[in-house]
A = this chain, B = another copy of it.
């Protein structure tokens, strides 16, 4: 416990309290969700008094917003990396992205909860106000993935949303314990892989649709630029 005490703490000054608080918040949000998250407990875990966080964050919400923002950035980074993995065609690149998405949701429930759990079962008073910018990054990344693979504009975007929704749905149902975690054809990753493949194959909706240009064997000529460059923010 108290992850950073002893290691970083050197007396009166913490040294890296901001980071320690973000990490504690990630852990707590993973356990209790962003609504159940509790600032005093985060301070305790960081080994400081409950007033100390106010040196670094305006209030409780600001810390959660920071976690959310970092979550979007990290997810964007991972998706981009998956997409850029060399030697893949459009099919497999998409498959890698899907896998990366599930991995992120599983490995980083704190981030994931901060990013998405606020908007479920709650009227979105402020639809991820601060997170919006970070989400735009993600959306741009997804949209950009599709550019050049298809002449008709609307279709790739719709497909991107479908893949995202399927990934998100599987991730959240799994987290809620409503999906079997193993099973011949029903393990989460298999569900996602087969689903994405089906979406790609059946692309374009009910009646319509040319096939995805590079459906089989197409190798991307140009690596899409990382959308991270716009809002870039390392930690």
Q: Which residues in A have some Cβ–Cβ distance to B below 8 Å? A: 29-36, 109-110, 112-114, 116-124, 127-128, 135, 154-155, 157-158, 161-162, 164-170, 172-173, 175-179, 183-186, 190-191, 193-195, 197-206
Per the bound structure, the CA–CA distance linking A164 and B172 in Å amounts to 11
State how many copies of this chain the complex holds: 2
Return chain B residues, CB-CB under 8 Å to A36: 35, 122
Nearest chain-B residue to A202 (Cβ)?
A: B198
Name which of A157, A183, A186, A206 has the most chain B CB atoms within 10 A of its CB. Answer: A206
When the two chains form the complex, which single residue of B119, B177, B201, B202 contacts A175, counting CB atoms closer than 8 Å?
A: B119
Nearest chain-B residue to A176 (Cβ)?
A: B119
A162 & B195 in contact (Cβ 8 Å cutoff): yes
Expressed in whole angstroms, the minimum distance between the Cβ of A86 and any Cβ of chain B is: 21
B195 & A120 in contact (Cβ 8 Å cutoff): no
Known: A117-B121, A201-B202, A205-B194. A173 touches B165 (CB 8 A): yes
A194 & B120 in contact (Cβ 8 Å cutoff): no
Known: A120-B116, A172-B120, A197-B206. A158 touches B186 (CB 8 A): yes
Return chain B residues, CB-CB under 8 Å to A176: 116, 118-120, 124, 127-128
A113 & B121 in contact (Cβ 8 Å cutoff): yes
